[in-house]
Amino acid sequence: MARRAARRTTEVIIRGVKRSDVPALHEIMSSPNVIWGTTAMPCTSELAVEHALTAENRHWFIAASRNDDRSVGYLFLDWGQGRWRRIASLVMAVHDNSAGQGIGRKLLETAIHVGFQYLDLQRIELEVYVDNPSAMHLYQKVGFVHEGTKRRNAIREGIHVDGHMMAILKPLDEQSKRRGP
Ligand SMILES: CC(C)(COP(=O)(O)OP(=O)(O)OC[C@H]1O[C@@H](n2cnc3c(N)ncnc32)[C@H](O)[C@@H]1OP(=O)(O)O)[C@@H](O)C(=O)NCCC(=O)NCCS
């Protein structure tokens, strides 16, 4: 039996977003699994993607191919105002052709580090569809904890799908232990 060709893996770096990423991000947000797994709208416009790059209280992380610097995945953190200033929500996706190669993990680990150590966040939260095991597996692996389920969380192909809420908290350091979070 012919040996299955080893799956080509994409070597990536995690960097900030560039204006030139818009076409590649639009392609990722238009790919079937990303529309299925997130709240990306089918036939989304490139202008909407461009606009999303400049949203306030948002920090982008881009997984770019070492080969040609093309974006193959993204993650952004949106933090709140006022008393929610140290709470952020997370949205992420990897291009269908680059999924399952550890890119999602790299994006998550970088975002958690920068979120807690530079954005001074206390909590990072997300919502994942109840029928998305690979995403849930990944989030659990990097430390996200299940906190509850939102019924009819978002519509997909005419069906309102439930979503799990998950979150990771900044580990309490010695100082915080003494002072309290
Ligand atoms: C979910 C997603 C971001 C993960 O990124 P990725 O680069 O594919 O993830 P990784 O390769 O780093 O890790 C995937 C993990 O899930 C595991 N996995 C894959 N399919 C799985 C399944 N059906 N059940 C359980 N675990 C699964 C992989 O084995 C891997 O775990 P491992 O490192 O222990 O082997 C990406 O697949 C994606 O963008 N999907 C479409 C959009 C989406 O669902 N976004 C998240 C919305 S909350």
Task: Give the Å distance between the CA of 138 and the centre of ligand 1.
Answer: 6
Q: Could you tell me the pLDDT band of residue 179, with boundaries at 50, 70 and 90?
A: low
User: b/e map of 130-164 (b: 16 or more CB within 10 Å)?
Assistant: eebeebbebbeeeebeeeeeeeebeeeeeeebebb
Out of 101, 138, 146, 162, give the residue to mutate to test ligand 1, the one with the largest number of ligand atoms within 8 Å of its CB. Answer: 138
Task: Give the Å distance between the CA of 178 and the centre of ligand 1.
Answer: 38
Q: What is the mean pLDDT of the chain?
A: 93
Paired strand residues for 124: 88, 168
pLDDT, one tens digit per residue, over 34-81 is 999 999 999 999 999 999 999 999 999 999 999 999 999 999 999 999
Domain ranges of the chain: 12-172
Task: Give the Å distance between the CA of 103 and the centre of ligand 1.
Answer: 9
Q: Tell me: domain 12-172, CATH 3.40.630.30, correct? A: yes
